[in-house]
Structure 1
């Protein structure tokens, strides 16, 4: 329901726009948020209401959490968790969806692509709000589709399940995440696409991360690599490279240094053969591998942490990478800096991560842990650190 913005939401939008460095004009905010300039002007003047979807888009463009703009101050965490029962109900009915309308395939494809874009941009509140109904509609479309169209519908279902899983996993609903992963695996044979199978194997690793079953997760990825097509095309090279990239990180968590470095080397070789972009829902290329090099170094710990600092000294993730991936780089870097005694640098990296993807940063468990540690180490420091720790619920 749109909320009126007199002296509240509109004023806060205008304030945050004015303190951006460099200052953001109304036109720039309109362009970045995909909201009409006239709408931005009316919202800031308090002349019209603003829906949750519009507010989320504006907050993303400003690089802040939507909670900072809302009159009722309800947090993204609360709004996502309030939406989880509807998501759970939607996936429980995967094989017996309610009757209802089904849009043409072209429109469904556009809707799924938009939800996938939100995932890569870490816009989790919007996904949580929209994906339950989309999943119900896609389930209807899948079961109503003639045999020759079922593979296309299965592919759309898998892509939508993946976006829903991102919300469940990031917000700690790991049982729900595991159910979504199993539904992706259920739909993969219907899609009949080996590269989509590899993509689902990549996502499945979340279950092993959540349960700390790192060695098992590594075995699952290595089995997926054995089954993946040879890297004869760019898409095939990217699919294999993403699996190696993921395997390197989980091998690092398992403290299997040899496997971590082997998989990282394989990922680098394959990354040099492709352009950096999103393949089957996963960003892959030289920049993504470099980010994962930092992640592997942090996962291995000890003397490897210095490598993470070396990478950051030489390189920063470009702005055209997905926001979720860029913020992840700074979250990992912040941990490496904290472990190296660089507390000021660590806090700066956390603030950069927050600016890039507020929702991703706020819900990341390492951010809470590291913010709490920084707060203990720097008790007499500025109010800014205290505010940050309270923002991400660090204890």
Structure 2
């Protein structure tokens, strides 16, 4: 395609399917004028539910519309170059091949302990370099070690697959992320420890495609109920809270406002008890609940609520640059939905980029919103800040 943005992909798939704008609009339950503005890149698809309906009408996945190529940069190019090696390591585990680990359990534990700071900084170039050998060594320890070594390696494997899944998702490798999440989940079932099973449940949920919203919600509720039956602890409350946040987002995508509010309330109650936590790099607590509420507002087309939600929120209470950047992206998207606060939205995107450059430049949502604002602004020549930001994150 000449231009890479979501609306251009909608138009391309519509023409491939032989549909008129009027027919597509009818199938997706929106107006023909809205389809026209989306294809021209002048309006975003404000609601996640609308995006899912459009993809369904076009007989494609949501990922077919949203997984746009990222900007060219040495760091991201280096990260992408490791994907074949990560795929090979995942396949070794998936196929159950027996391999000898090159490092001891102690050495591998040290590497896993060092993942969190790099992950929080969204340094996908560094994380992806570590993954092939680490995944292979963990699989080797699980398949060849004694029982004590195997159990320790299984815990480390659940942690590592959480990180690997996040890295692969942000490199637009959704299918590999699902494989990593499934392998982590299988490890947690074998480990049979409720807390780590809950972590693996959550990781698997966030890799499921947007079209699986009903399944995601059901699995999230089942996982939260299973964890609530386990012994009470701050860690269990944190994981359960994240599961309720996942259920809330799925309910919002399904346009079930009552269930969304109920799950958000469950998460808030747990956050009130735990305070700001950081078990399993989940960052669960009152601040992250507000972050998720912001994301839900944007996903339901209620971007005008982001200022209200942000009152009293201190993003720096979250010890993760990648999580803070995601919040600044959502905040910017919410402001852009109002079409009255583009300057403030641009400032939020720039703040996200400064906080976690790779995370922001790899965000399809950020690039789509910035691109839409840029195309809207071209009639009045746009602003220098907006043009520079668009260039850095790969928007033409």
Deviation digits for residues 318-338 of structure 1 (CA, Å, limit 9, x no counterpart):
254211111111111111100
Conservation of the 8 A alpha-carbon contact between 1:168 and 1:177: yes
Conservation of the 8 A alpha-carbon contact between 1:252 and 1:260: yes
Count of matched residue positions in the alignment of Structure 1 and Structure 2:
321
Aligned-residue offset at 1:370: 0.5
SS at match of 2:102: coil
Counterpart Cα distance in 2 of 1:277 and 1:225: 18
Aligned-residue offset at 1:82: 0.9
Alignment-derived partner of residue 335 in structure 1: 333
Conservation of the 8 A alpha-carbon contact between 1:150 and 1:190: no
2:310 paired with 1:309: no
User: Post-superposition, which runs of at least 4 consecutive aligned residues in structure 1 deviate over 6 A?
Assistant: none
Alignment-derived partner of residue 392 in structure 2: 391
Alignment-derived partner of residue 11 in structure 2: none
Aligned-residue offset at 1:100: 4.7
For structure 1, list consecutive stretches of 5 or more residues without a partner in the other structure. 1-67
Counterpart Cα distance in 2 of 1:292 and 1:278: 16
SS at match of 2:283: strand
Aligned-residue offset at 1:161: 1.6
Alignment-derived partner of residue 135 in structure 1: 135
Spell out the pairing of 1:103-182 with structure 2 (5 A cutoff): 103=104, 105-182=105-182
Aligned-residue offset at 1:353: 0.5
Conservation of the 8 A alpha-carbon contact between 1:244 and 1:264: yes
For structure 2, list consecutive stretches of 5 or more residues without a partner in the other structure. 1-70
Alignment-derived partner of residue 4 in structure 1: none
Identify which range, 237-246 or 221-230, moves more after superposition.
Answer: 221-230
Alignment-derived partner of residue 234 in structure 1: 234
CA 1:168–1:311: 2 relative to 1, 3 Å: same
Counterpart Cα distance in 2 of 1:232 and 1:150: 26
Counterpart Cα distance in 1 of 2:98 and 2:390: 42
Counterpart Cα distance in 1 of 2:367 and 2:78: 19
CA 1:74–1:377: 2 relative to 1, 3 Å: closer
CA 1:237–1:249: 2 relative to 1, 3 Å: same
CA 1:242–1:190: 2 relative to 1, 3 Å: same
Counterpart Cα distance in 1 of 2:124 and 2:258: 36
Deviation digits for residues 59-97 of structure 1 (CA, Å, limit 9, x no counterpart):
xxxxxxxxx9xxxx8433321211100000111111225
Alignment-derived partner of residue 102 in structure 1: 103
Alignment-derived partner of residue 82 in structure 1: 81
Alignment-derived partner of residue 375 in structure 1: 374
Counterpart Cα distance in 2 of 1:351 and 1:198: 35
Alignment-derived partner of residue 38 in structure 1: none
Counterpart Cα distance in 2 of 1:394 and 1:218: 34
After TM superposition, the score normalised by the length of structure 2 is 0.77
Aligned-residue offset at 1:293: 1.5
Spell out the pairing of 1:265-344 with structure 2 (5 A cutoff): 265-301=265-301, 304-318=302-316, 320-341=318-339, 342-344=341-343
